[in-house]
């Protein structure tokens, strides 16, 4: 096993860095700090257009689908660099929705949805969780009924979703619905792509403890063309689980963790208000060294998953393990940072005089969110036990 990048991969990483040095302007950073990506226009939108013009939203896609065909390793390197710089890169629409359309979609699905996704114009929120269903995604009750035929009919959709992150800045929903209420609960589910501006769709904000906005979404007699069904009716569970595995892999990229630990190492070398230099204490140095080593482990986990994708294998156990490890590591980084900062660490995000603009205080509040996003860690430990070690299910 070779743990080093080859010459082509290093050249690619440098090409991405050159792009970022050119396009990550002070104006873009100011807008990101002020808006948290909540805006649909402005510097963030201009940056996304620049990424789209490079063809990098379809970087990993086969050429036959309008992509560049450069493979998962290069995509992993690109996402790592974007996360290190703290700017928006290929989102879940690109990394988990589009691959499922390529694998399972109809020819109409591919021609209708893939080109605008590649241009960065079609952005999906993923509609999985429902009120009252807890972590059991298959207990969804949102219904879709077909009126007419698959050629010229319509799906009529009623129900609601919760924790519908990003819906306020999305153009469509990758919506999981029940299409056969009489089938076993994992067998009667389908996926339908729904424009968020369709009549009957309502998006309401939910603000988490971290200040992060997620949403409730309501669907009241929403009608979409029958051809918006992804793949085959009642086969959606397979598409959902595949997309979730890819989502976990995308969410666990260690680029932002590398940046957080680099910033923490820099912080530890600077004297606090009381004159103490944290790095002068052996116990502090040991904690920082452990975090630094753990980030390198997380990076290797990411390359393992990307290598599996390069072999046309969707990693499952691997990304579940990686997601648990990185989400718990993020929490430990935040805890060490607040210990180093002392009372100043309690100054909140966007508070005057907050060290590093309060980014570590915010990291502390947002870290728990990552422990249950894309599947709670407790559920993923069950996945590892059942899929990885053939242990029995207890019927969750």
In 3-state terms, what secondary structure has residue 185? coil
DSSP codes of every residue in 277-310: -GGGSHHHHHHHHHHHHHHHHHHHHHHHHHHHHH
314 vs 385: CA distance, rounded Å: 18
Catalytic residue among 31, 247, 322, 361: 247
The tokens of 34 are what?
A: 């002020």
The tokens of 350 are what?
A: 């966007």
Residue pair 117/126 in contact (Cβ under 8 Å)? The answer is no
Residue 53 is a catalytic residue: no
Residue pair 243/230 in contact (Cβ under 8 Å)? The answer is no
Nearest Cα to 61, choosing from 19, 100, 9, 17? 100
Residue pair 98/272 in contact (Cβ under 8 Å)? The answer is no
The tokens of 160 are what?
A: 């609601």
Residue pair 83/259 in contact (Cβ under 8 Å)? The answer is yes
Q: Pairing relation of β-strands 172-178 and 124-127?
A: parallel
Which of the residues are catalytic? 247
């Amino acid at each position: 096993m070779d743990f080093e990048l080859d010459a082509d991969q290093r050249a690619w990483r440098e090409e991405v860095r050159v792009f970022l040095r050119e396009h990550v302007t002070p104006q873009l950073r100011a807008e990101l700090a002020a808006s948290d990506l909540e805006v649909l226009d402005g510097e963030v939108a201009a940056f996304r257009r620049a990424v789209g013009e490079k063809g990098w939203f379809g970087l990993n896609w086969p050429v036959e689908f309008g992509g560049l065909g450069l493979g998962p390793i290069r995509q992993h390197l690109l996402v790592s660099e974007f996360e290190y710089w703290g700017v928006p890169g290929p989102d879940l629409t690109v990394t988990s929705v589009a691959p499922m359309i390529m694998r399972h979609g109809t020819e109409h699905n591919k021609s209708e949805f893939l080109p605008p996704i590649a241009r960065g114009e079609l952005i999906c929120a993923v509609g999985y969780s429902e009120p009252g269903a807890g972590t059991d995604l298959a207990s969804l009750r949102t219904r879709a009924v077909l009126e007419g035929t698959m050629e010229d009919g319509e799906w009529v959709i009623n129900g609601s979703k919760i924790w519908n992150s990003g819906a306020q800045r999305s153009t469509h929903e990758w919506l999981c619905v029940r299409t056969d209420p009489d089938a076993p609960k994992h067998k009667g589910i389908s996926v339908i792509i729904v424009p968020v501006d369709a009549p009957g769709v309502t998006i309401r904000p939910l603000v988490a403890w971290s200040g992060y906005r997620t949403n409730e979404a309501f669907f009241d007699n929403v009608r979409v063309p029958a051809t918006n069904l992804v793949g085959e009716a009642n086969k959606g569970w397979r598409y959902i689980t595949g997309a979730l595995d890819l989502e976990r892999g995308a969410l666990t990229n260690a680029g932002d963790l590398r940046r957080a630990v680099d910033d923490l190492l820099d912080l530890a070398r600077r004297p606090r208000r009381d004159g103490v230099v944290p790095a002068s204490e052996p116990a502090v140095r040991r904690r920082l060294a452990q975090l630094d080593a753990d980030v390198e482990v997380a990076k290797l986990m990411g390359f393992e998953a990307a290598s599996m994708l390069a072999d046309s294998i969707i990693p499952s156990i691997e990304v579940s393990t990686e997601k648990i490890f990185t989400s718990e590591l993020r929490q430990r980084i935040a805890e060490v940072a607040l210990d180093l900062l002392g009372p100043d660490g309690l100054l909140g995000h966007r508070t005057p005089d907050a060290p590093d603009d309060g980014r570590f205080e915010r990291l502390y509040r947002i870290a728990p969110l990552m422990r249950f996003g894309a599947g709670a860690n407790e559920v993923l430990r069950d996945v590892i036990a059942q899929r990885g070690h053939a242990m029995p299910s207890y019927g969750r």
